[in-house]
Chain A
């Protein structure tokens, strides 16, 4: 029996950990935190067995394991999992990053009053995400999708005593829910057309449509469904204009941000588009929308990251920007590149967030202008953060470089020249804000108040080092190693395997841009050779615009205050006056009043009743006479 069939254990172990820790945690040593780590570690070990099995079986292996759940009429609902290369790499990312973050949290969350609950929800979060990547039908995917949203709500609002945390959790939940409605409609539309929630059925129809054969889908419904699914993905993956929740989501504990930004939640949207790629490929219009939204997101978020001063906020905008890059890549048929970047970004971003958490833990600062020179007191954090920043900035040999280059390649090959030009701008900005964050926070003179800052304990440093190693060397899987493995494209591909591809001009060009960005940041923020003052004055309106997040929040607040609340006020009035007073109380009152007047005929005097009897009897007699005798 193939080991693959046991893949369902990976999420189930973490699911099982949730109630045990949540209910019995306080009786266990360490409040049950070891159970969560054990569950996810077992999942990580199991992942290797499944992955090796998958690679051994190759493309001919079984992809789907479906169990019937129940039948309703002619509809059969089922549980099941797909184990294809996409699932494998996602399983690896989620289990590894979640494991690292949980180990890190042991130190970071020490002494918190809800320590056990934190680990319980953490397990639940990871389990939901693992279910999401394994799901082989849209219904199960949607269930897991919502569970991910719920867990992120619980974790962002983990310190719910703080009003801002509660607000951020609510904002994240509501924003993603709005997008989820579109996802649900898209799933139901596909169900209506295809008659099944199964992904394999749906994608078979989509591929038949693309091949020009007979298909249950038309190009119109395929486009509509793809766009609806993409709106759902936009919510989860924080694409403009749904990106507003992600920067606020850092109100949660920093390891939670790392988990949300790297391995769960936000990558779910990218994953969904990748998973439903046959559907998207059947609709060129939808793919163009994906690419455009991705491009806009990556540019908008990169400029906001450039002006942010809060370390975690810079990282949050950077996540939004890179998610946009992944969407852009998917929209440019760069399936492999998008997932590759998802992995590279996942490792780097987890590393950076954990590094930021380490800074907050050691120096108790979040504003980069208050940091400076932390390299001297926190060497491990500074070194690992540097690796993460270089990787995310796209410096050669680090992971982010390779994946970014694959994205540039697919954009260059498949999209208009405007796309590649703007993508290169985004690459420049991406390197610039990472360099700025690092130079300002870690280099320079150590501030007096930060003298007492200290390096983080072992449990926090260890995940940092492991993630840094990955962020440094992970990119090399893009290269050709053996005749079987000719780059990541030979394992993880959509249409046909492709080996390592490298466009020298593009590679050199993007490297030059990256180096220029780092050099510019060095000159501006480190040596001060380049004064920013005239620049700031010249672009003052633009900078203000970016600092205010392009007024998205203001626009939404205005919409809610002026339109939504006014409209709901009217609805409340309508309900109170028309529905309740007139519709419900009205008939009741009229019955009450009429019975009060009607009872006056009941006098209680016996001769009145007798008269009634007489009148009745005479009436009956007359009627009888008229109807029976008179005929």
Chain B
């Protein structure tokens, strides 16, 4: 019998993997992919919770759809930024990009 806790464990593990990727990776594209992983972990948690706690309500499912939509937009934008960065600097290594300082 698969219970809510199983989904939450998988979701948490997925989130942790994504977080590690965001913090540890130096390639902008890989960081973006890790962010997607974290978002999907959240989605999994939302959907599982919605189904297990009260199947008659769709609140969690609707939020998940919102997250997917926003994630799609975000990836589109972020990839555009990465593309511009690569055009202007010929690198997407985050170690060499220090634009966000004083």
Binding site for B on A (CB under 8 A): 599, 602-607, 609-611, 614
Contacts and interface: CB of A to CB of B under 8 A. Distances in A.
Nearest to B25: A607
Given A610-B22, A610-B23, A611-B23, A605 B95 contact: yes
Contacts of B95: 605
Interface in B1-40: 19, 22-26, 31
Contacts, number: 32
Interface residues of B, number: 15
Interface string B70-102: 000000000000000000000000110111111
Contact of B102 (A602, A606, A607, A614): A602
B101 A602 contact: yes
A107 B24 CA distance: 102
Nearest to B24: A607
Contact of B94 (A599, A602, A607, A614): A607
B23 A599 contact: no
Contacts of A611: 23
Contacts of A607: 22-26, 31, 94
Contacts of A614: 19, 23
A599 B102 contact: yes
5 contacts: A605-B97, A607-B22, A607-B23, A607-B24, A607-B25
B11 to A, nearest CB: 15
B19 A606 contact: no
A605 B24 CA distance: 12
A606 B96 CA distance: 11
A610 B98 CA distance: 14
Nearest to A609: B100
Contacts of B100: 604-606, 609
Given A610-B22, A611-B23, A603 B101 contact: yes
Nearest to A601: B101
A606 B94 contact: yes
Contacts of A604: 97-101
Instruction: Give 9 nearest A-B pairs by CB, closest first.
Output: A604-B101, A604-B98, A602-B101, A604-B100, A610-B22, A599-B102, A606-B94, A611-B23, A602-B102
A559 B27 CA distance: 81
Contacts of B31: 606-607
A611 B23 CA distance: 6
Contacts of B94: 605-607
Contacts of A602: 101-102
Given A604-B100, A606-B100, A609-B100, 10 more contacts: A599-B102, A602-B102, A603-B98, A603-B101, A604-B98, A604-B99, A605-B97, A606-B94, A607-B23, A607-B31
A496 B97 CA distance: 103
A614 B15 CA distance: 12
Contacts of B98: 603-605
Task: Choose among B31, B97, B101 the residue with the greatest number of A CB atoms under 10 Å from its CB.
Answer: B101
A205 B33 CA distance: 97
A605 to B, nearest CB: 6
A603 B19 CA distance: 20
B23 A606 contact: no
A606 B31 CA distance: 10
A609 to B, nearest CB: 7
A603 B25 CA distance: 17
A606 B98 CA distance: 8
Task: Choose among A602, A609, A610, A611 the residue with the greatest number of B CB atoms under 10 Å from its CB.
Answer: A610
A579 to B, nearest CB: 33
A599 B31 CA distance: 26
